[in-house]
Amino acid sequence: MPLLPKLPDGRVDAKSLTLAELQAAMAELEKGSGRALRAYKHIWQRGATRFADMGGIDKASRRWMDERFGIPTLEPATVLHSRDGTRKFVWRLHDGHHIESVLIPDPGNEVSRPRLTLCMSSQVGCAMACTFCLTGDLGLTRNLTPSEIADQALQVSRTLGPEERITNLVFMGMGEPLHNLTHLIRALDILLDEHALNYSHRKVTVSTVGLVPQMQKLAAASPVNLAVSLNATTDAQRRQIMPITRRYSLDALMEGCRAFPLPHAKRITFEYVMMDGFNCSMDDAERLVQLMRGVRSKVNLIPYNENPNRDILRPSDARVKAFQHHLVSNGISTSIRTTRGTDISAACGQLGKAAQGLRIPEAASV
Phi, psi of 149 (to 5 degrees): -75, -60
Eight-class DSSP state of 293: T
Q: Is 218 in a helix, a strand, or coil?
A: helix
The H or E element that residue 299 is part of is: strand 297-303
- Catalytic residue list: 100, 348
Q: Which amino acid is at 188?
A: L
Phi, psi of 315 (to 5 degrees): -70, 160
**Strand duo 204-208 + 225-229: pairing:** parallel
Eight-class DSSP state of 345: T
**Strand duo 98-106 + 115-119: pairing:** antiparallel
Rounded to an integer, what distance in angstroms lies between the CA atom of residue 144 and that of residue 352?
A: 15
Phi, psi of 141 (to 5 degrees): -90, -55
The H or E element that residue 321 is part of is: helix 317-329
Distance of CA 293 to the CA centre of its chain: 27
- List, as one string, the DSSP characters of 64-113: HHHHHEE---PEEEEEEE-TTS-EEEEEE-TTS-EEEEEEEEE---SSS-
Eight-class DSSP state of 21: H
Phi, psi of 224 (to 5 degrees): -70, 170
Please answer whether residues 56 and 34 qualify as being in contact, where contact means their C-beta atoms are separated by less than 8 angstroms. no
Strand partners, 115: 106
CA angle 148/150/155 to nearest 5° reads: 85
The CB-side HSE value for 79 (13 A sphere, CA atoms) comes to: 13
